[in-house]
Amino acid sequence: MNRTVWRFVSRVLLIGGLLSSGCSDRELPVQSSAASPPVLSDLRLPQIFNPNRIHSISVRVTHSAGSRSIHSVECRVLGLGDRTELTRFALYDDGDARGLGSGDLVAFDGVFSRQLWWDQVSDTEQAFLFVFQATDDTNLQSESLEVAIRSAPWLAPILLEISIPDYLPSGFQETRLLTAVAADSNGIQDIQAVYVDGYKQGIPAFVWTLIDRGEQGDVVAGDGLFSLAIDRSAGAALKGLYELEIAAEDLSGARSEAKYAQVTIENEPPVIANIVAPDSLLRPEPGVFDVHLVSVCVDDPQTLADISRVRLEWVKPDGSYASGGRYFDLFDNGLPYDLGRWDQGYRGDETAGDGVFSTVVIFGARAQDEQPLLGNYTLTFQAEDKVGQLSNALVKTITLK
């Protein structure tokens, strides 16, 4: 073993020894044959570890008896070829109660964490195998969860060029292409994405992710040109001037120096049309309730993704409002009418996502002296988008005879 590797092994073994000594006096109960073993999932760690840097690692452990029944979670670091164990370390689910800087945020939530100082120093890329395993209080162990990682010298990626539109008109046709050229000393495969973070008056507003995988507008995978094709829906919930911060991020989470730009996003309000509702109705007999579907077509230059709500104002012949209030929401969710689930959006809409927003109106009364008023009921429809703009208003009158 060369001196570099031995320094890494001895240092981590010392840490591992201190960790294990704290548990050495604890005897584990006899395993119960009826118990279910822990299950590992949702492993999170960098694909590339950089020497002399701290890396965050976490894994979720599920157990029928709850996370407090987990005695330990360990990771063994093996050589990828001969599977020789180089070291091992523990992960914790205690909200860092021990003060070891584990990075665990919430105690006993089932997520075990570790801030690992990677002391593997080498001028070349190396490969390792991380093997995770959980043990419960009955000494029952989970199946091993193995993942191969790479260790490589750390150099942040470099962002060379960017091409981003400075203006996006409302409802623009086809697509606009965002591109960036980036490089990395560990190879272009070490860059996971180029991120475009949009801010308005210093507040985060959106993130566009440019990739180099031959999809989502990118033409050739792995050529160092990161791309994203956006359509008019990119303007949903956005309007005005935005400051852009653009940076490439590698697989270890290191970011390049940022470049900056601006984009003005135009957003015109929605439009509604084509009310479908009865013109006139006969007043039902006491105890009879007539249910009628009403709907309106809604369009938005930024697509329906920009629609916040569609509603109608309901005014009775005497100028008062229904017992449910002045306004009623319409839905484009495809859920049938169900009065028992009215507040959950079951208003009788027929097809989800088709731009036709619907609800039902109900005429009726339980007793003779509660009969609905005869005359004109005025329904005013209007849509609102996610930046607070109102559509045109349409009015429909239903006459109850």
pLDDT digits (tens, 9 = 90+) for 185-219: 777 888 999 999 999 999 999 999 999 999 999 99
Average pLDDT over residues 48-63: 89
* CATH dotted code for 271-400: 2.60.40.1930
Rounded to whole angstroms, how far apart are CA atoms 285 and 92?
69
Residue 279 burial (10 A CB sphere; 0-12, 13-18, 19+)? exposed
Span 383-399, pLDDT tens digits: 999 999 999 999 999 99
Q: What is the location of CATH 2.60.40.10 in the chain? A: 3-151
Q: State how far the alpha carbon of 242 is from the alpha carbons of 160, 200, 201, in Å.
A: 22, 5, 8
Q: What is the pLDDT at residue 27?
A: 41
Choice between 20 and 302, residue whose per-residue pLDDT is larger? 302
Q: What is the pLDDT at residue 55?
A: 87
Of 1-10, 97-106, 327-336, 366-375, which range is least confident?
1-10
Burial 60-91 (b: 16+ CB within 10 A, else e): bbbbeeebeebbbbbbbbbeeeeeeebbbbbb
Span 85-125, pLDDT tens digits: 999 999 999 998 877 788 899 999 999 999 999 887 777 78
Q: What is the pLDDT at residue 203?
A: 97
Mean pLDDT of all residues belonging to the chain: 88
* Residue 370 confidence class, pLDDT cut points 50, 70, 90: confident
Residue where the block lists tokens 């894994």: 59
Span 251-304, pLDDT tens digits: 888 899 999 999 999 999 999 999 999 999 999 988 888 999 999 999 999 999
> Does residue 35 carry a pLDDT above 70?
yes
Q: What is the location of CATH 2.60.40.2550 in the chain? A: 158-265
Q: What is the pLDDT at residue 34?
A: 57
pTM: 0.66
> Does residue 233 carry a pLDDT above 50?
yes
Q: What is the pLDDT at residue 26?
A: 35
Do the beta carbons of residue 392 and residue 330 sit within 8 Å? no
Which residues are paired to 400 by β-bridges? 281, 375
Span 127-171, pLDDT tens digits: 899 999 999 999 999 999 999 988 887 778 999 999 999 999 999
* CATH dotted code for 3-151: 2.60.40.10
Question: Which amino acid appears at position 250 of this protein?
Answer: D
Q: What is the pLDDT at residue 48?
A: 81
User: What percentage of the chain reaches a pLDDT higher than 90?
Assistant: 69
Q: What is the pLDDT at residue 54?
A: 87
Q: What is the pLDDT at residue 126?
A: 87
Q: What is the pLDDT at residue 102?
A: 84
Which residues are paired to 178 by β-bridges? 228
Q: Write out the chain in H/E/C secondary structure.
A: CCHHHHHHHHHHHHHHHHHHHCCCCCCCCCCCCCCCCCEEEEEECCCEECCCEEEEEEEEEECCCCHHHEEEEEEEEEECCCCCEEEEEEEECCCCCCCCCCCCCCCCCCEEEEEEEECCCCCCCEEEEEEEEEEECCCCECCCEEEEEEECCCCCCEEEEEECCCEECCCCCCCEEEEEEEECCCCHHHEEEEEEEEEECCEEEEEEEEECCCCCCCCCCCCCEEEEEECHHHHCCCCEEEEEEEEEEECCCCECCCEEEEEEECCCCCEEEEEECCCEECCCCCCCEEEEEEEEEEECCCCHHHEEEEEEEEECCCCCCECCECEEEEECCCCCCCHHHHHHCCCCCCCCCCCEEEEEEEEECCCHHHCCCCEEEEEEEEEEECCCCECCCEEEEEEEC
CATH class of 158-265: mainly beta
Q: What is the location of CATH 2.60.40.1930 in the chain? A: 271-400
Q: What is the pLDDT at residue 369?
A: 66
